[in-house]
Copies of this chain bind each other. A is one copy, B any other.
Amino acid sequence: MNHDARLHTLQRQAEEKLAHYLATCRGPEQVLDAMRYSLLGGGKRVRPVLLVSTWEALQRPGALDPWPAACALEFIHTYSLIHDDLPAMDDDDLRRGRPSCHKAFGEALAILAGDGLLTESFRLLADEYRPWPRQALQLTRELARAAGCAGMVGGQALDISYTGSRLEQEQLETMHRLKTGALLGAAVRCGAILAGAPAREIERASDWAGKIGLAFQVADDLLDVVATSENLGKTAGKDSCQGKSTYVDLLGVDACRHYLHDLLGQARCQIDALQPGSATLCQLTDYLGQRVERHFA
């Protein structure tokens, strides 16, 4: 199977697994409906694909099923999008080409749908990895650290406090390392943990994830400038209008493209240090570059 087909297969599997694990959440329909709307409303499924690809690349005999953790991560990512879109935060009416959660269900249910997805992500881990308490605990720590104050929530707080100021590249990178990098890193580390990889490989994969996380944000900033809202499925060109610093503001479009390819080059280097084979990880690395470059074609 070629790489593109493999990527699409993983994305399709992610959709099925997300629907399956969402159905394990019990509770009043009102909040489950809003969670379902946002969770199953499309998306590239970057984090689940990243987790499962890492797992495939590093798996040993006795590796555990990666999908519950992959879906728990996507629960967390989706909660963060729902809360980020709220009027008090980024105030975005459009998400993945459809009304954002609070536009469709009202603000109160959107807040609760986010709270619900976050909480259920930990329930999902604890329930599905119940026979393996040591690994369940390790995964819980990874997710909680990546999503908490030293990770995503902290990054979002920096983003808010930085809005309207012109940032140094270092501040911008710290913000993104927390806001998006931490969760991407957790995807790779959880994949490696579930694969049964030794500590040394988990660390190497984690370094790769650091470069990929940064590249991901640079690519996003470039796309925000060069793509249309229709291509993106969200409001394009919004960051600059909202007074948020971007890599494009800091470096300009050309230097930004160079920086992206530099990061991807470093990331490819780090994959080479990983054994066994990691074709899918190479392909994911390349995909980030291609996603941007097709707009310059």
Contact = CB atoms under 8 A, between A and B. Distances in A.
Interface of A: 25-28, 30-32, 35, 79, 83, 86, 88-89, 106-109, 111-112, 114-116, 118-120, 122-123, 125-127, 129-130, 133-134, 136-137, 140-141, 143-145, 147-151, 153-154, 156-158, 160-161, 178
Contacts of A79: 115
Contacts of A144: 119-120, 122-123, 126
Task: Please tell me how many copies of the chain the complex holds.
Answer: 2
A288 to B, nearest CB: 27
A141 B116 CA distance: 14
The residue among A107, A111, A136, A160 with the most chain B CB atoms within 10 A of its own CB is A111
A27 B153 contact: yes
A107 B62 CA distance: 47
Nearest to A131: B137
B109 A83 contact: no
A153 B116 contact: yes
Contacts of A158: 28, 30
A119 to B, nearest CB: 4
A140 B139 CA distance: 12
A118 B118 contact: yes
- Which 3 A-B residue pairings sit nearest by Cβ, starting from the closest? A27-B149, A88-B107, A27-B154
Given A115-B83, A158-B28, A145 B133 contact: no
A156 B178 CA distance: 30
A141 B160 contact: no
A32 B106 CA distance: 28
A130 B120 contact: no
Given A127-B141, A133-B134, A137-B126, A30 B157 contact: yes
B123 A145 contact: yes
Contact of A109 (B109, B126, B157, B178): B157
25 contacts: A25-B148, A25-B149, A25-B150, A26-B154, A28-B154, A30-B157, A35-B149, A79-B115, A88-B107, A88-B108, A89-B108, A111-B111, A112-B153, A114-B115, A118-B119, A119-B144, A119-B147, A119-B153, A120-B149, A122-B143, A122-B144, A123-B141, A123-B144, A126-B140, A126-B141
A127 B79 CA distance: 23
A157 B112 contact: yes
Contact of A31 (B88, B106, B154): B154
A185 B75 CA distance: 26
Contacts of A114: 115
A110 to B, nearest CB: 8
A44 B25 CA distance: 31
Given A32-B149, A88-B111, A114-B115, 20 more contacts: A25-B148, A25-B149, A25-B150, A26-B150, A27-B151, A28-B154, A31-B154, A86-B111, A109-B157, A111-B111, A112-B156, A116-B148, A116-B153, A119-B147, A120-B148, A122-B122, A122-B144, A123-B141, A136-B137, A136-B140
